[in-house]
Amino acid sequence: MTDPARATPFAPPTGQSGPPAPADSLQEPNTAQQPGAGGAESAGSKPTPNLSGRAITLIAVGAVAALLLAGAGVYTAFRTSTAASTLVQRKSPLESANEECGSTHAGDAVLGDGGRTLILHGAGEKSRGLSFSKLECYWSELKMPDSVRQEVLATRALDGRQSGEWDQLRASWSYHPDSGLQMVITVTD
């Protein structure tokens, strides 16, 4: 029997510094204890880590995910800015008609609600306002159908407030010989 106090510790076989590292480990080899590792060639160079297939796959998946997230961010920013600029540049049909037909007096044609409402004041016997030809210009620019136009022209003071709709517009109006035609046109979309 051997005395445990006198036993020699386990010594690895010559040329090995310890148990071998698993194949998928990133552990650097210990060059200081390997025979022939202290040569002039390896003195200034650092050994490269041993990457396994799993580690390479994880790095590749991470890189692809980062690129996808960056692309999604750029797409979202571009889409949002394009939509906002389209809204800013696009005029309502009421704004376009007001630019085309205009008015010589303030208050005869008034835009409201950010270009979504147009108020037209036609001339009457006792009040000034838009001439019939100016009203016709607005109606033509807004593509008012003949059916609504005829209802407007047939309105009497006794009829009260009338209304009509076409495309994405709604008009309501009243008429009195003294004050003329009073019309409100709104965008309905």
Other residues' Cβ atoms within 10 Å of the Cβ of residue 156: 11
Residue-wise pLDDT for 143-178, tens only, equals 999 999 999 999 999 999 999 999 999 999 999 999
Residue-wise pLDDT for 50-83, tens only, equals 778 888 888 888 888 888 888 888 888 877 765 5
* Amino acid 87: pLDDT: 54
Instruction: Tell me if residue 97 falls in helix, strand or coil.
Output: helix
User: Would the pTM of this model clear 0.85, i.e. be above it?
Assistant: no
Residue-wise pLDDT for 5-35, tens only, equals 555 555 555 555 555 555 554 555 554 454 4
* Amino acid 71: pLDDT: 85
- List residues bridging with 109 in a β-sheet: 120
Pairing label, strands 169-176, 162-166: antiparallel
Give the strand order in the sheet containing 169-176.
109-112, 117-121, 180-187, 169-176, 162-166
Measured N-to-C along each axis, helices 132-141 and 93-101 cross at an angle, to the nearest 10 degrees, of: 140
Residue 131: pLDDT band by 50, 70, 90 thresholds?
very high
* Amino acid 85: pLDDT: 55
Domains of the chain, by residue range, sit at 52-90, 93-187
Residues 6+ apart with CB under 8 A from 152: 139, 162, 164, 171, 173, 181, 183
Residue 37: pLDDT band by 50, 70, 90 thresholds?
very low
